[in-house]
Structure 1
Amino acid sequence: MEIETLEELDDHLDSDGSLRGLRLQDLDLTTYGDRLASHGDLTGLVVLGGVVPVAVAELLLTRGAILFPGVADAPVDPWRGLYFPSDLYADIERGYPATPDALAYDWFVDARLRTDAYCTLVRAIHDDSVTDELDEFVQGRSVVGIMGGHALQRDSHAYAGAAGLGHALAQEGHLVATGGGPGAMEAANLGALCRSAEAVQEALGRIAGVPGFRPDVTSWATTALAAREVVVGDEPQLPSETLGPSARSLGIPTWFYGHEPPNVFCDVIAKYFSNAIREEGLLARSNAGIVVLDGAAGTVQEIFQAVTPLYYAPEGSPLPPLVLVGRAHWTETVPVWSALQALAAGRPMSEVIHLVDSVEEVLPLLAPHP
């Protein structure tokens, strides 16, 4: 049983229940020494991160608990879970290299640390914490994944189309999930975050002056943060566990592609060190379907990763639709469609793969909202 708030811990301690098997995650235990001591043997209790003063730590260890301390020299808190855009872009006024997002990438690619056992453990714990909270965040939601390339410019017609698609999906009650990066991913997240078509158009106008993240991530991010502030207004930031049912826009990026900064038009961001876990997590959670916009190598990889479970699915299994948008792109520029058709021949997946000309054709092809 995981306990992630002090309120939950208070309730459990008041119930005089056993502490064996409990996981106390990222809690401030400064004032809990006496209450924990009253339970005697603490064997089987695991404390993950948080604030644990020396006296409390000694109590835990001598009574048989397992204690995983926080990590003082890493730029991330491995126990925290999901991020808000303001977390990753803190200190952006000093330039993108000063932000927690950039510092985490620098730490990730540091050759001295890449194979260090301690750092490997920290990254694994971090990604597991993200997955744990992400599962809770999407529970019960109809999720549509939107894939697409990072090179799409903000001032392009295709970018506006992707934003319109994201908005239409969110208006239908879907949670729009992307790879969380720039380009088509940012456009879809922007559209989903906006509560009206007018707000989408206004946001597009505000960010068009900085069309891409190259060569200046700082200007790209700053412009977007200002536009996001207008979109969300002065609403208080809700905890992710409260926000989940009303969220419209989710980003799942990775520090593996550190040259692609995360976009800020997400309700929350599930950022991973492991790209493999990130990609599988995004595809597996897209239970209402996957929409693929123009892209190159990374997008092609995601297409075939999505196709594999469709290909091997047994007869009668419910399959989420896979919709490729852009007939010329997927039959001529990057001729993936013919391969998909060959794989689908005679299999149930043939009924759920689609090739369309425009984003306007996508919605009727997706799984209906429950």
Structure 2
Amino acid sequence: MSDAGGEPRRTQDRDYHQGPVVMRRSKVPGSTTDQRLLDDDGSADWLHTDPWRVMRIQSEFVNGFGALAEVGPAVSVFGSARTRPDAPEYALGEQVGRALVEAGYAVITGGGPGAMEAANKGALEAGGTSVGLGIELPFEAGLNPHVDLGVNFRYFFARKTMFVKYACGFIVLPGGFGTLDELFEAVTLVQTQKVTSFPIVLVGSRYWGGLLDWLRETAAATGTVSERDLALLTLTDDVDEAVRTVVEADERAGRAARRPARGTE
């Protein structure tokens, strides 16, 4: 994902994606599937509906696993949906997508606009696999045009599982709440050893430096995080260094050899 950016638009003016279903105009619902799952209206209707929701949740995992199982080595790239095509961060996203493909990786994003679109575009133009994992939101317009393998999800938690399960690392571009959510969830999974040998790279020292300073000078200083926790994050302005961090982590983990870079096949 990342940040569900921009001002909300009238949902009736565009396609609305709910899993594999597309709705328009009067068929667009007034709330999302996640919202209906998590809201508590005080009634006991959930006693009768939640068991069926489990089947829908199961289907999201099955569809995601089936679509992504043969993608091969991949890296998830996150960043703001608000990033404009003329912004330096957009060009940075394109560079990241291109460099990952040249290193033998597929690129997985949230499939939205902005930085996600940029990474997908760079991957596609480099001849690699460009994956988008979309989410049902009231103000997003579906997958960006540079995705060549896309899966739409109703539930954030199912989608987040795919970001981690089918990637061997995260590269994080400047972003907002959605990006921060994915970043800190990944850090927590590595910290608690739910995933291992999983590099997390922040690209953009001017953007991310203040956050790392706060973590070091406030959180670590008060003992709520450790220096070892902070070492889980790599900060750089160099796209090549970001990709090299992922490659070196793979090599240390002894994972299977990567696909050859484009032009060497």
Q: Which residue of 2 aligns with 1:268?
A: 149
Q: C-alpha distance in 2, partners of 1:110/1:366?
A: 35
Answer yes or no: is 1:313 the counterpart of 2:201: no
Answer yes or no: is 1:163 the counterpart of 2:94: yes
Q: C-alpha distance in 2, partners of 1:103/1:130?
A: 23
Listed as ranges, the matches of 1:1-370 within 5 Å are: 96-97=14-15, 100-103=21-24, 106-107=28-29, 109=31, 114=36, 117=49, 120=53, 123-138=56-71, 141-195=72-126, 248-255=129-136, 257-261=137-141, 262-287=143-168, 289-313=169-193, 318-332=196-210, 335-336=211-212, 338-339=214-215, 342=220, 343-346=225-228, 350=231, 352-367=232-247, 368=250, 370=258
Indicate the structure (1 or 2) with the bigger Cα radius of gyration: 1
Q: C-alpha distance in 1, partners of 2:192/2:36?
A: 35
Shift of residue 344, structure 1, vs aligned partner: 4.9
Gaps spanning 5+ residues in structure 1: where?
1-94, 197-246
| C-alpha RMSD of matched pairs (Å) | 3.3
Give the secondary structure class of the aligned counterpart of 1:177. strand
How many residues align? The count is 216
| Structure with more contact order per residue of length (Cα contacts < 8 Å, sep ≥ 6) | 2
Shift of residue 134, structure 1, vs aligned partner: 3.0
Q: Identity over aligned residues, as a percent? A: 27
Give the secondary structure class of the aligned counterpart of 1:323. strand
Q: Structure 1 residues 275, 337: closer, same or farther in 2, change over 3 A?
A: farther
Q: C-alpha distance in 2, partners of 1:110/1:151?
A: 21
* TM-score normalised according to structure 1 size: 0.51
**1:114–1:120: 8 Å Cα contact kept in structure 2?**
no
Please give the per-residue CA displacement for 1:310-336, whole angstroms capped at 9, x wherever unaligned. Answer: 11229xx8411110011121123xx25
